[in-house]
Amino acid sequence: MFRLVLLTSCLASIAFAQVTVTGKNGKTVKVGAGGVEVQNATGKVKVNTGGTSVKVESDDEKTVEVDDDGVAPTAAKDGTWLVEGQGRTETHACAANEDVRIEGQGHTITLTGPCRTITVNGQGSVVTTDVAAKIEANGMNNQVKWKKAATGKKPVISLSGMNNGAPQVK
């Protein structure tokens, strides 16, 4: 009977994105969308996750916060300008016919100058470019907005995944 009650309780908690387990000794562990909390008779420790950081707090008022928005954009081995991680906001001036690759999620990238190929892999990134010859968006919910094509009426556009787009903007 106890297992059924615990299972029902856990399933109900999961529906609300939080699970709390309390032991016979009074210690509790809470797991939810915002992180983990562990509590015993002498205090508690919280690990909060959200945005681009992880924050560890304890009752003794010691707090540690680690920013994790990915490594700074770099030039990959093949000379491509590369953005990785999550939640980065960057502006980059493409060198003549430079390739750009965006990996991860939730980036906001502004590109100026004549970019040759812009490739976006991951989810939820928004890229705006002045000039592009080729646009590739893979994953889901990525938008690559372009103003002018390097040649012709529009860049070569390849979209795969779900809800990706490459609209022209003014």
Is residue 25 domain-shared with residue 81, that is, in the same domain?
A: no
Residues 6+ apart with CB under 8 A from 67: 52, 53
**Last residue of a domain, which of 43, 67, 91?**
67
* Residue 80 shares a structural domain with residue 53: no
> Per the structure, how many domains does the chain have?
2
Pair type for strands 43-50 and 53-58: antiparallel
Whether 144 and 79 share a structural domain: yes
144 and 95 co-located in one domain: yes
Q: To the nearest whole percent, how much of the chain has pLDDT over 90? A: 49
Same domain, 85 and 39: no
Question: Which pLDDT band, with edges at 50, 70 and 90, does 12 fall under?
Answer: very low
* 52 shares its domain with 84: no
CA distance 142 to 103: 11
**What pLDDT does residue 128 have?**
97
Are 136 and 101 in contact by the 8 Å Cβ rule? The answer is no
Does any domain span residue 94? yes
Q: Label residue 69 by pLDDT band (50, 70, 90).
A: low
pLDDT tens sequence across 95-121: 887 999 999 999 999 999 999 999 999
Confidence check: pLDDT of 58 > 70: no
Same domain, yes or no: 81 and 149: yes
- When pLDDT is averaged across residues 39-67 and rounded to a whole number, the result is 63
Q: Is residue 89 part of a domain?
A: yes
Residue after which a domain boundary falls, among 67, 96, 111: 67
Same domain, yes or no: 16 and 52: yes
Core vs surface per residue 67-95: b (16+ CB within 10 A) or e: eebbeebeeeeeeebbbbbbbbeeebebe
Asked if residue 9 has pLDDT above 50, the reply is no
The Cα–Cα gap between 144 and 22 comes to: 48
Q: What is the pLDDT of residue 22?
A: 76
pLDDT at 126 over 80: yes
Domain boundary among 67, 84, 119: 67
Mean pLDDT of the chain: 80
Statement to judge: residues 87 and 31 lie in one domain: no
- Answer yes or no: are the C-beta atoms of 109 and 125 closer than 8 Å: yes
Domain assignment of residue 45, given as a range: 2-67
Q: Are residues 84 and 150 in the same domain?
A: yes
Looking at the structure, tell me whether residues 100 and 43 fall in a common domain: no
Residue 112's pLDDT is what? 94
- Asked if residue 168 is part of any domain, the answer here is no
Q: Assign 140 a pLDDT band (cuts: 50, 70, 90).
A: very high
Dist CA 9 CA 140 (whole Å): 34
